[in-house]
Amino acid sequence: MAAKSEVISSIECNQLEPAPSAHFSARWRDLAEIAVVFGFILAAVWTPQGKLNAFFSLTAAACVVGLAATGNWGISQFGLMRPTQGAGLVLLLGALLCMAVALIGIPLRSFGPGWLVPMHRAWQYVVWALAQEFILQGIFFVRLESILGSRRAVLVSAALFATAHFPSLLLTALSFCGGLVFCEFFPRWRNLYPIGIIHGALGLTIAASLPDHWLHHMRVGIGYLTVHS
């Protein structure tokens, strides 16, 4: 009887565990979802303002919302449920990073002035920074984490984030470093809000501290090539 019970328990456990093919299929689906969202983002970034740009932008946004609503991750895993968890430490580290950027920018002012973002656009940038973090963490990182593990997911997510800032080589490099920081913070505390705030603060500090003719008003894609033309 004991042997029979062990066999039955083994069969039940095997039935509960997903088949290897199911894991393989889920991984390819997650990679495809990342590719679709990233593809539409790049298309929007590299398309001039107009109807086609609006189409790519709205489609990317719709994909992000749709995948967030139908994926295997809940709002707590997106970092939206615990706004105070780790917030003090994250904001403190973010403030130190902003101070470091500002200090580095002091000797660089001889190369040209920075860009002081108008107040009515600064808060919009902070909101956009939070949206970027939702895409970076809630769409890219959580999927890559399930496929590659947390450590590799940090690197790949940061690389995707940096690639979206091409052809500005300076912004691409800074975005990769920032992406590493953001994606290191996220799995530790699963709190998107302070990460979005320091993302916005760092961006505004970079714009004000580094010569604007290097950054072209923090534009990326086709905007970087045309902003001063």
CB atoms under 10 Å from CB of 216, counted, come to: 19
Q: What is the pLDDT along the chain (229 residues), one digit of tens a residue?
A: 555 554 444 444 444 455 666 677 889 999 999 999 999 999 999 999 999 999 999 999 999 999 999 988 989 999 999 999 999 999 999 999 999 999 999 999 999 999 999 998 999 999 999 999 999 999 999 999 999 999 999 999 999 999 999 999 999 999 999 999 999 999 999 999 999 999 999 999 999 999 999 999 999 999 999 986 5
On whether the pTM is more than 0.85, the answer is yes
CB atoms near residue 104 (< 10 Å): 12
> In the chain, what are the domain boundaries?
2-226
SS3 211: coil
Q: How many residues does the chain have?
A: 229
